[in-house]
Amino acid sequence: MAFCALALMASTLYEIHKTRVHLQESYEQGTIFLVENAASLLNHYHQRHLSGELTLSQAQHEALQALSSIRFDRGNYIFVGDRDGISLANGVAELVGTNILDVRDPEGRYLVRELYQVAIEGGGFVHYLWPTPGKNDAFHLKSSYAVYFAPWEWTLGAGLNTTYLNQAIRQARLHSVLGSLAIFVLFSLLLLLSHLVVRYRNHAERQVEDARHRNPLTALPGNQPIAVELETRLAKGAGFVFAYVDLDQFKAFNDAYGYVRGDRLLSSLADLLQRHFSEQGEFVGHIGGDDFVLLCQKPDWQQRLSEMAKDFARVSQAFYSDENRKAGGINVRDRFGVERFFPFVSLSIGALTVASGSAARPEELTARVSELKIKAKALNYSCMLLQNPDGAIEQIRLLEEPELEPVAAQA
């Protein structure tokens, strides 16, 4: 029995180590995936400039607008700096337009210079201390991945929030310890049922494996499962629809009501997407922040998407105060400190009809659907831009009326 206990303890320690390594790699791969897609987006606008469609200034301006709209991991963002160290895009608004080369962490590390250096050398991570939001004089360990976009001499990257990573590791460690303890108790009480204990451990490992690739807020599949699902569907060769769903005016809503109510609004949207697209062959994923992905094959998908948008317009009214509902929106200071009126949150959707036997790569589809989503957001009302296999783009109004019947306000 003592030998079995020692063997079980060694196995538990090994599982904890393996899970930690897997989680670290998963978070890092997710960050690399986001940054490389951001670089692909820059290259898309660069090619439009080279073709003469856009001037250099227009291409760079539209690229920065696209990157600035990206949010993930509850407020994380893509940052961009030029060759002189001037911040061009940053989640910290007061840094935009300033020279950040001399920014140091509490240990004196010139973190921006190191990010520029690893980016020029081919891309990599830099580890440093960063202020903890909402806590004065508090810092947490953070890692950022940066790459260099040579045509414009820009450095871009994104941060990996090690606080969330450590929370996931602690949860995985607790699951492993509890699972191993349960195994030991069962094994010591009844050796004849040892095969049941093995099945329990395997089931627990599958749950941890599944959970670490899901969005922590909505429990929907995250970036890696989305990428795998795209690759699988393309490999099968069957046609499908790839839709990118985004919330308009969500930052203003978050600023006005706080992230707790903002999270509840995102959870409501996730629930509606799953409710309307729950049939076999349909997939709903959560990229992060207010960005969702929908993959489906049923011919009535447009009708159900329109019904979902109407349901969301009705449900989202409940998250506003009586005063704001009567006013038709909220007054909030934008990122430049100017007070502006923002209408109710609504949906902008970019969608692609992927033909059977398509030879497109997942990254090509994500770049195209991202561009469609960005163009849909510019139309200033709840709508969808759908690109058909022949390249033709349809503009589809999701809502005929901006307001639906009121419902009881949320506390």
pLDDT at 201: 72
Q: Residue 97: which region, alpha, beta or left (left: phi > 0; alpha: psi -120 to 50)? A: left
Name the token pair of 126.
């830099």
- Location of structure tokens 């998963």: 26
Name the token pair of 327.
């006013």
Which domains, and CATH codes, for the chain?
Answer: 15-163 (3.30.450.20), 223-397 (3.30.70.270)
pLDDT at 18: 76
pLDDT at 217: 93
The Cα 243–Cα 49 span in angstroms is 27
- Can you tell me whether residue 143 is helix, strand or coil? strand
| Contacts within 8 Å (CB) and 24+ apart, 104-111 | 105/129, 105/130, 105/139, 106/139, 111/144
Chain centroid to Cα 259, Å, comes to: 16
Q: What's the pTM? A: 0.51
Per-residue pLDDT of the chain (411 residues; tens, 9 = 90+): 666 667 767 777 777 777 777 777 888 888 899 999 999 999 999 999 999 999 999 999 999 999 988 887 766 889 999 999 999 999 888 999 999 999 999 999 999 999 999 999 999 999 988 887 667 778 878 889 999 999 999 999 998 766 676 776 777 677 767 776 777 776 667 666 666 666 767 655 666 666 688 899 999 999 999 999 999 999 999 999 999 999 999 999 999 999 999 999 999 999 999 999 998 889 999 999 999 999 999 999 999 999 999 999 999 999 999 999 999 999 998 878 889 999 999 999 999 999 999 989 999 999 999 999 999 998 867 899 999 999 999 999 988 655 434 444 444
All residues at 6 or more sequence positions from 147 whose CB lies less than 8 Å from its CB, including other chains? 35, 36, 39, 119, 123, 155, 156, 157
Q: Which candidate, 123, 91, 121, 126, places its Cα nearest to that of 107?
A: 126
* Alpha carbons within 13 A on the beta-carbon side of 99: 5
CB–CB of 64/79 below 8 Å?
no
CB–CB of 25/33 below 8 Å?
no
- Location of structure tokens 């922040």: 289
Name the token pair of 113.
């210079």
Q: In Å, how far are 3, 9, 186, 197, 367 from 190, measured between CA atoms?
A: 16, 19, 6, 10, 56
Q: In Å, how far are 46, 47, 149, 156, 371 from 42, measured between CA atoms?
A: 6, 9, 8, 10, 11
pLDDT at 15: 73
